């Protein structure tokens, strides 16, 4: 395989492949490679040309097979985290699956375009740490509205497999989607909780369409921050949840609890 660039820094790790005929014409037999620098968080791109004597190799690209042989996601997913290890773990877990619907970025979740912000919160709705704290600063009524809903529940706790979407009144981030990965903010996440929380988010996104948001989920690492999970273990669970949500039909769609803007 010949590479189209020789200036890519040493030590970069493969993050994402893409077979997109709309961007790279089939007659050029080109695959785009995006690589990520763990040190700087910057993306570097280079193109690789497939041997022209093997045109069938593009037809069997795992990207295209994945899209053709599974149910189609009704939403876009952008995994965004400031920890390169988390992003690389997610990219490694998804590998070449659903490349037209899933992307990975090292950076600030608030600087990567509009969409629905997903936060792996706690069951009490305590927004005093991590991403929740940033969201509370941006949307002062968010915590009160979330906890108000939680107080109506018999257990007075948000179940680990619950999904609650709260409208913000903000055009860039019209909803914040909550799905707990731990019971209190002092608790730690577990692989099972990460799986159940991620499955709730992905299933609810499949069931609930919000056109003006572009139906893009902005998702940080699940359970890898204050949750304390190893990024590789957590990312595998997130991928398993995504695959099940997309590929396994459910008799009754799992629509989220939606709390409108007052």
Instruction: Return d(Cα 180, Cα 154) in angstroms, integer.
Output: 17
Q: Using 50, 70 and 90 to split pLDDT, how confident is the model at 248?
A: confident
Least confident of 56-60, 138-142, 158-162: 56-60
Torsions phi, psi for 85 (to 5 deg): -65, -40
For position 140, what pLDDT does the model report? 94
For position 53, what pLDDT does the model report? 32
For position 37, what pLDDT does the model report? 39
| Three-class DSSP category at 253 | coil
For position 5, what pLDDT does the model report? 31
For position 253, what pLDDT does the model report? 67
For position 167, what pLDDT does the model report? 94
Of these ranges, 10-24, 60-74, 83-97, 207-221, the one predicted with the greatest mean pLDDT is 83-97
Residue 130: CA atoms inside 13 Å, Cβ hemisphere, count? 23
User: Of 199, 220, 197, 193, whose CA–CA distance to 116 is shortest?
Assistant: 220
Is residue 6 scored above 60 in pLDDT? no
Least confident of 15-19, 88-92, 128-132, 166-170: 15-19
For position 175, what pLDDT does the model report? 94
For position 189, what pLDDT does the model report? 83
Backbone CA torsion sign across 15, 73, 113, 228: negative
**Whole-model pTM?**
0.72
For position 64, what pLDDT does the model report? 31
For position 184, what pLDDT does the model report? 74
Is residue 177 scored above 80 in pLDDT? yes
Q: What is the rounded average pLDDT of the residues 96-122?
A: 94
Long-range contacts of 155-162 (CB under 8 A, 24+ apart): 157/123, 157/124, 157/183, 158/121, 158/122, 158/123, 158/124, 158/125, 159/123, 160/123, 160/193, 160/196, 160/197, 161/196, 161/197, 161/199, 161/200, 162/200, 162/257
Beta strands in the chain (DSSP E): 2-3, 13-18, 30-36, 43-49, 76-81, 102-106, 116-119, 164-167, 175-178, 216-219, 257-259
Q: What is the rounded average pLDDT of the residues 70-93?
A: 93
Is residue 131 scored above 70 in pLDDT? yes
For position 136, what pLDDT does the model report? 96
Q: Which residues contact 6 (CB under 8 A, 6 or more apart)?
A: none
Least confident of 134-143, 148-157, 251-260: 251-260
Instruction: Return d(Cα 76, Cα 208) in angstroms, integer.
Output: 13
Is residue 9 scored above 50 in pLDDT? no
More confident call, 150 vs 12? 150
For position 210, what pLDDT does the model report? 62
Is residue 120 scored above 60 in pLDDT? yes
Is residue 107 scored above 50 in pLDDT? yes
State the span(s) of the chain assigned CATH 3.40.220.10. 68-259
Q: What is the rounded average pLDDT of the residues 121-138?
A: 93
Identify the CATH number of the domain defined by range 68-259. 3.40.220.10
Instruction: Return d(Cα 105, Cα 107) in angstroms, integer.
Output: 6
Instruction: Return d(Cα 74, Cα 215) in angstroms, integer.
Output: 8
Contact 181, 160 (CB under 8 A): yes
Instruction: Return d(Cα 204, Cα 245) in angstroms, integer.
Output: 9
């Amino acid at each position: 395989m010949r590479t189209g660039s020789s200036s890519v820094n040493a030590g970069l790790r493969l993050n994402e492949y893409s077979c997109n005929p709309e961007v790279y014409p089939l007659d050029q037999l080109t695959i785009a490679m995006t690589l990520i620098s763990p040190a700087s968080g910057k993306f570097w791109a280079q193109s690789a040309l497939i041997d022209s004597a093997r045109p069938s190799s593009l037809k069997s690209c795992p990207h295209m097979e994945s899209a053709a042989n599974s149910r189609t996601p009704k939403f876009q997913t952008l995994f965004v985290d400031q920890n390169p290890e988390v992003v690389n773990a997610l990219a490694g877990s998804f590998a070449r699956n659903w490349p037209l619907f899933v992307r990975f970025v090292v950076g600030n979740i608030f600087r990567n375009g509009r969409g629905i912000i997903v936060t792996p919160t706690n069951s009490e709705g305590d927004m005093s740490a991590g991403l929740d704290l940033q969201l509370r600063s941006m949307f002062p009524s968010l915590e009160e509205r979330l906890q108000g809903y939680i107080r109506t529940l018999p257990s007075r706790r948000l179940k680990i497999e619950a999904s609650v979407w709260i409208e913000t009144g903000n055009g860039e981030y019209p909803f914040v989607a909550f799905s707990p990965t731990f019971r209190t903010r002092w608790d730690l996440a577990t692989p099972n909780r990460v799986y159940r929380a991620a499955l709730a988010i992905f299933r609810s996104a499949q069931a609930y369409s919000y056109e003006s948001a572009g139906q893009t989920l902005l998702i940080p690492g699940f359970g890898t921050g204050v949750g304390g999970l190893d990024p590789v273990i957590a990312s595998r669970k997130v991928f398993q949840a995504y695959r099940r949500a997309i590929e396994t039909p459910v008799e009754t769609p799992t629509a989220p609890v939606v709390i409108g803007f007052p």
